[in-house]
Structure 1
Amino acid sequence: MKWKSVMATFVLGTSLVSGGAVTHAEVGTDLEGKRDVSHFVKEELKVSKVMSEKGVKQFINKNKNKFNLDANQDLSLLKTEKDELGMTHYTFNRVVSNVPVANSKVVVHTDKNGNVTSINGEFHEDAPRNIKQQKQLNKKDALSLAWEHIEVSREDADKVQKSELGEDFNTLTENSDLVVFHEDGNYTLAYHVELQFAQPYPANWQMFINAENGEVLKAQNVVKHATGTGTGVLGDTKSVNTYYSNNTYYLYDTTKPMSGVIETFDNYNGGYSSLPGYYVTDSGNTFHAEWQKAAVDAHYYAGEVFDYYYDTFGRVSFDDQGATIRSTVHYGNNYNNAAWTGNQMIYGDGDGSTFTYLSGADDIVAHELTHAVTDRTAQLVYENQSGALNESFSDVFGYFVDSEDWLMGEDVYTPGQPGDALRSLSDPNAYGQPDHMSEYENLPNTEEGDWGGVHTNSGIPNKAAYYTINSLGITKAENIYYRALTVYLTPNSDFSDARAALEQSAQDLYGTTEVNAVSQAWDDVGVY
């Protein structure tokens, strides 16, 4: 397959530091020549030891002319975290008139001695000091406009169902927060509205509504899908953790440390009926029926992914706070997809030709639950390069969970046709993806354009991950990737930022040899 020619290199723009030598990742421009808001800066600066929020703000203000930030006006502390290396990470919201700029963070990193090692995130150097618009809407108004825009009745989405264990489940989550919305150099006071529900269709709507006139500035249903390859549920016997109550065994796992539960439901092919559905049960604790196989795999692999993150990184569920992991199988009729809806997993049965039971692939489950991890950490915006990174990190951790081959979803794609897959980290071209910036697909940021090609251009960072893993091995590579995702990446990070984040993570954890391996991997895919 031939790839259309696109710009293959990124042009570095104005340095963040006047007269100073920025050692890595200066302000860049995107493929359309627009100035980025995301930066990753490393520079030797002689400052007093930084040991607190106050110290960080003093550091920034002493270098105000270099960062073009006023810490007292432009930054609001979100959290402070000290990691196992003794480094401290101060995460700030970028604010205008004390209102957070949407999808924007600034993170200052210090070593164990309080020396600033790097600062990265969305600086928004050109943002106004004040927002002059008058807020005419309140949160309730914004929510009403959001429901009206998507043409879904709140009552239809807000279904409460009593489970067989007597629990009530509400399938709707809705939030509305005042933010500053940024697009094409314009800053607008807006409400960020989130609508997550499972019916009448799986949805995770992310919407921005002008707080002055009610205009819908942006609306995306960012339910993240994954499809796989292979032969479906293989008939292998698994041990599953169950729960016994009233002479009945449930696929309900309470064994995970410091955690909620892992629970699995059956929707009986009711795509428009109430989710999460009904608990999968058996009177003899032997889940061997055909209709139970998809549930067994969903349940088992959810536990496997939990164990991977906990055993490898000490992470307790996808939110690191022990959140319940909920899965529903037999969703829809011949539904050729799986999805993380923002609060649970759903799995279709496939049509028997393109796919079989989609819960039957552990890398699909790992891919989707990694989207949940990303939602709670880097919060990579699901469009263009940040969206491609969102997809790529899910593929990469899908590989770490299932490292027998470089293929994604091979167990459930085209049953009866062994050897094919949905994607490949080692050979993205084989499945219609680019593996170098010279093949980058500059697609429109629309649903038809896959939000700027998030499932297409993810082949480039996937190939960089392949080179990195081959060079360093799985253990070092997974530690580097996890640290980059949870410490350094921010919502609008692009490929160049990802390279910088991975290099910095390699430096933090290991040293020069590993940094050079990461650098070479990204050189090999044309990201500099």
Structure 2
Amino acid sequence: MKSYSVLLICSLFCCAGKAPRFADERLAAATISLSDKQTPARIDGAVYTLTKPAKAEKELIKLIQSKKELFKLEAPAKELSLNKSDVDQLGFRHVTFSRVHKGVPLWAEELKLHVNQQQELYLIQGQYSPSLPATFNVKPQLSAEQAEDKVRSQLSLQTVQQDETKLYILNDQETPRLVWRVIAATAKLAPDQWECLIDAASGELLSKTNLIRP
């Protein structure tokens, strides 16, 4: 009886500590589309069933960790930041992670995971970059105030929402770069609002988008 009890206890501990991972046969049956950065753009198919729905976000991170070669992320727990997790009227959970590097978000990059009522992860959608080199420096050469001054001088946009000025990593070319996102307008009560991206090294205006759509 003693040996049986020991075996049972050991078995329980082993099961409790088992890390989530994809079943190879379920993943093989899924339809996987890769982006031009070779990260998953879309994975269709019930590739995994949650064991702890109440801690879905943590379980999904560990699941991604189990397939680093597919998701191209070396440390998902550090490179994915929970942006949103909600359950719709049908009982489906939708979890959105933002891509980050050393705490700095990557511009317009995210990973979405969708779980149905049976707790099956049935759809994964991604638009993100693989892990950046550990040597990539996230310290900008231009300060937030200098970036705001660049917007004022280059675009004659006098009003800047200073609490909206944020640092990002833009990785739309071969070499990623730090950028400041600045929100500005021609005047305090003007009916326009512009989202500007300023290179955090050179001060170059990279893009200007009108946020007030007609």
State the shift of 1:141 in Å: 2.0
Query: 1-side partners of 2:63 and 2:177: how far apart?
Result: 29
CA spacing shift, 1:221–1:149, aligned 2, 3 Å: farther
Give the residue type in structure 2 aligned to 1:120: Q
Give the residue type in structure 2 aligned to 1:23: T
Give the residue type in structure 2 aligned to 1:96: H
Partner of 1:135: 140
CA spacing shift, 1:221–1:84, aligned 2, 3 Å: closer
User: SS at the partner of 1:43?
Assistant: strand
Choose the corresponding residue for 1:102, options 98, 107, 129. 107
For residues 125-151 of structure 1, the C-alpha deviation after alignment (integer angstroms, 9 at most, x for no partner) is 264445225323322222111111202
State the shift of 1:173 in Å: 4.5
For residues 378-408 of structure 1, the C-alpha deviation after alignment (integer angstroms, 9 at most, x for no partner) is xxxxxxxxxxxxxxxxxxxxxxxxxxxxxxx
1:90 equivalenced with 2:95 (yes/no): yes
User: SS at the partner of 1:143?
Assistant: helix
Query: 2-side partners of 1:137 and 1:28: how far apart?
Result: 32
Are the aligned partners of 2:102 and 2:138 in contact in 1 as well (CA < 8 Å)? no
CA spacing shift, 1:130–1:99, aligned 2, 3 Å: farther
Give the residue type in structure 2 aligned to 1:88: R
State the shift of 1:57 in Å: 0.8
For residues 490-517 of structure 1, the C-alpha deviation after alignment (integer angstroms, 9 at most, x for no partner) is xxxxxxxxxxxxxxxxxxxxxxxxxxxx
State the shift of 1:85 in Å: 1.0
Choose the corresponding residue for 1:204, options 175, 178, 193. 193
State the shift of 1:95 in Å: 0.7
Q: What is the TM-score when the length of structure 2 is the normalising length?
A: 0.72
State the shift of 1:114 in Å: 2.4
CA spacing shift, 1:65–1:50, aligned 2, 3 Å: farther
CA spacing shift, 1:61–1:53, aligned 2, 3 Å: same
Give the residue type in structure 1 aligned to 2:201: E
Partner of 1:58: 62
Are the aligned partners of 2:156 and 2:186 in contact in 1 as well (CA < 8 Å)? no
1:192 equivalenced with 2:181 (yes/no): yes
Give the alignment of 1:300-449 within 5 angstroms: 339=214
For residues 322-369 of structure 1, the C-alpha deviation after alignment (integer angstroms, 9 at most, x for no partner) is xxxxxxxxxxxxxxxxx2xxxxxxxxxxxxxxxxxxxxxxxxxxxxxx
User: SS at the partner of 1:42?
Assistant: strand
Query: 1-side partners of 2:132 and 2:109: how far apart?
Result: 12
Are the aligned partners of 2:180 and 2:200 in contact in 1 as well (CA < 8 Å)? yes
CA spacing shift, 1:38–1:61, aligned 2, 3 Å: closer
Partner of 1:78: 83
CA spacing shift, 1:76–1:191, aligned 2, 3 Å: same
Partner of 1:125: 130
C-alpha RMSD of matched pairs (Å): 3.0
Partner of 1:322: none
Partner of 1:23: 31
State the shift of 1:77 in Å: 0.7
Q: Which runs of 5+ in 2 are unaligned?
A: 1-23
Query: 1-side partners of 2:31 and 2:157: how far apart?
Result: 50
Are the aligned partners of 1:101 and 1:180 in contact in 2 as well (CA < 8 Å)? yes
1:149 equivalenced with 2:154 (yes/no): yes
Partner of 2:118: 113
Give the residue type in structure 2 aligned to 1:203: D
Give the residue type in structure 1 aligned to 2:99: R
Query: 2-side partners of 1:90 and 1:107: how far apart?
Result: 6
Partner of 2:9: none
State the shift of 1:37 in Å: 6.7
CA spacing shift, 1:211–1:37, aligned 2, 3 Å: farther
Query: 1-side partners of 2:196 and 2:40: how far apart?
Result: 21
Query: 2-side partners of 1:129 and 1:21: how far apart?
Result: 34
User: SS at the partner of 1:203?
Assistant: coil
Give the alignment of 1:230-241 within 5 angstroms: none
For residues 95-122 of structure 1, the C-alpha deviation after alignment (integer angstroms, 9 at most, x for no partner) is 1111111112211111223221111121
User: SS at the partner of 1:73?
Assistant: helix
Partner of 1:500: none
State the shift of 1:176 in Å: 0.5
1:220 equivalenced with 2:209 (yes/no): yes
CA spacing shift, 1:68–1:28, aligned 2, 3 Å: closer
State the shift of 1:196 in Å: 4.1
Are the aligned partners of 1:97 and 1:131 in contact in 2 as well (CA < 8 Å)? no
User: SS at the partner of 1:92?
Assistant: strand
Moved more, 50-59 or 190-199: 190-199
Query: 1-side partners of 2:40 and 2:209: how far apart?
Result: 22
For residues 204-223 of structure 1, the C-alpha deviation after alignment (integer angstroms, 9 at most, x for no partner) is 32211222342323333354
Give the residue type in structure 1 aligned to 2:51: K
Q: How many residues of Structure 1 are paired with residues of Structure 2 in the alignment?
A: 185
